[in-house]
Amino acid sequence: MYRAPAALGVRGFGFGAAGLGLSVIGATLVGAADPDGALGAMSWAGLAVFAAVSLVFFATGLVRVAGLRGRLVLDDDGFVNATGPGAGVRKVAWRDVRKVQTDGSVVSVDVAGSKQSLIRTAALDVDPRELARELRSRLNRHRGYTPLGTAEAHQVDS
């Protein structure tokens, strides 16, 4: 199983907490200054947007720290890709895999029915080429292929 590092969630949690703290300080300062008219409305609107963005960072970090972060689970039957939205097919059986290729930080798995499963390796903190090798190895094993030189030599009796 490949997972996103917990440090990523802690970082998001920390940024969100700091942003929420700054939002409270900003709200206190704007409330004390009590600006009138358009300046007051813009100040409160800006603080609201900043607080909302901080809350999203905070909540996302909390969810990731709790263990609900991006993951890729490989087993004997196939894999489950939960590396983010837009990943395409989430659950893939090895019998349906047609091709595995890398493109930058994404491993693309072509699946039967002209579909794809896009695995975002940046979300998993793994090298794309290493992951593609692992996927190809499991695919070959499922199909019964063995690397050259590893099969037992068969002698023919004359």
Q: What is the pLDDT of residues 4-33, one digit of tens each?
A: 667 777 888 899 999 999 999 999 999 999
Sign of the C-alpha dihedral, residues 77, 97, 128, 134?
positive
59 with 81, same domain? no
Among candidate residues 4, 140, 139, 5, the one with its CA nearest the CA of residue 74: 139
How many separate domains does the chain show?
Answer: 2
Supply the pTM of this predicted model: 0.58
79 with 56, same domain? no
Domain containing residue 9:
2-65
51 with 80, same domain? no
In whole angstroms, give the CA distance from residue 124 to residue 53.
24
Write out pLDDT tens, residues 113-149.
Answer: 889 888 888 777 788 899 899 899 888 888 887 777 6
**Residue 14 belongs to some domain of the structure:** yes
91 with 134, same domain? yes
